Structure 1
C-alpha cells in the first residue's frame, strides 16, 4: 500500500483488533490526537486501504449452521473464466468468502449452510452449475477459532 506510514500501520493494526474503538482510545494507542487519528482513518477509507467494517459471528449460534470449506477447480484460468465464476459466486449469500488460489485447486470457498442436507442441495443446485467448474472438493469445519 503506497503512502502508508508507521502511524497508518499502527492504526490498521488497532482497527483489526477492534474496529469499534473510539478515536480517543485509538489515538492513545498509536500516539496521535483523536482528530489526527480520525483524519488518517478517513484517508485510509478514501484510499481503499480500509474497504469496510464487518462483524464476525460466533460459530456457536444455532442459526449459523455448518461451515463448508470447498476447493473448486475450473476448466480454464483465463481472465474471462475467472470473472464469470466470481460474478456468479457473488450472487449466492451462502458463499461467505472466496479466494483465488495457487496450487491444486483454483478457488477456495467458505460456505455457510444449515447442515449436510442443505449442503447436498446447494452442491447440486449451485456449486456444480457455477461457470467453468470441473471439480469440487468439500470439507466441513468441526471447530473454529480466531486470533485476537
Structure 2
C-alpha cells in the first residue's frame, strides 16, 4: 500500500467527483503539469488505489428503482459456509453490494430490482435457496437520503 501524499489525495478527490475529466483538466485542478499528473494517476492505478472507473446509473430511470436491504443469517458461521455464500452471491447481478457483518446477522445485501414482485421472486428462487442461508429479513428502502461513492480522502 503506497503512502499517499497531498497531491495524490487531490488527484483522487478530483477523480471521485469526475473521472471523465481529461488529464489536462485534472492536472490544472490539482496544480501539476500534465506529464507528472498522468504518471501519478498511472501509479495510483498500478498500486490498486484506483481500482476502476465506472458510470453511476440512475436505477429508477433505468427501470431498476427498487432498493432492498436484506439481512442474512447463515446456517453456521464457518469459513466454508461464508465462502460458499460469497461464491454464490457474486453471481447474482441483483446484489450490488454485500457486507459481511457482526451482530444479529451475518451479511447485509443491497439488492436492486424493478419492483417488489421481482424482489420477492429473487428472494424465493435464489436467495433463500442458497444452502448456507438460514434466514433473510428484508428492509425496503423508501427514500435515499444520501448516496455517495466518494471516500473521505
Q: Give TM-score scaled by structure 2 length.
A: 0.86
Q: Distance in 1 between matches of 2:139 and 2:115?
A: 12
Provide the secondary structure at the position in 1 that maps to 2:96.
strand
Q: Distance in 2 between matches of 1:49 and 1:15?
A: 12
Contact 2:96 2:110 in 1 (8 A): yes
Provide the secondary structure at the position in 2 that maps to 1:105.
coil
Contact 2:81 2:132 in 1 (8 A): yes
Provide the secondary structure at the position in 2 that maps to 1:98.
strand
Kindly tell me: are residues 9 and 77 of structure 1, through their superposed partners in 2, closer, same or farther at Cα, counting changes over 3 Å? farther
Q: Distance in 1 between matches of 2:120 and 2:37?
A: 48
Report how far residue 62 of structure 1 moved: 5.4
Per mean C-alpha deviation after superposition, the further-off stretch among 101-110 and 88-97 is 101-110
Report how far residue 88 of structure 1 moved: 0.4
Per mean C-alpha deviation after superposition, the further-off stretch among 57-66 and 33-42 is 57-66
Q: Distance in 2 between matches of 1:42 and 1:87?
A: 31
Q: Give TM-score scaled by structure 1 length.
A: 0.89
Report how far residue 11 of structure 1 moved: 1.1
Identify the residue that residue 104 of structure 2 maps to in structure 1. Answer: 104
Matches within 5 A, 1:1-16: 1-16=1-16
Structure number having the greater helix percentage: 1
In the TM superposition, structure 1's runs of 4+ consecutive aligned residues that sit over 6 Å from their partners are none
Provide the secondary structure at the position in 2 that maps to 1:68.
strand
1:47 paired with 2:44, answer no
Identify the residue that residue 32 of structure 1 maps to in structure 2. Answer: 32
> RMSD in angstroms over aligned alpha carbons?
1.8
Identify the residue that residue 89 of structure 1 maps to in structure 2. Answer: 89
Identify the residue that residue 56 of structure 1 maps to in structure 2. Answer: 56
Contact 1:88 1:131 in 2 (8 A): no
Identify the residue that residue 17 of structure 2 maps to in structure 1. Answer: 17
Q: Distance in 1 between matches of 2:103 and 2:12?
A: 30
**Where do 5+ consecutive residues of structure 2 fail to align?**
none
Report how far residue 36 of structure 1 moved: 1.1
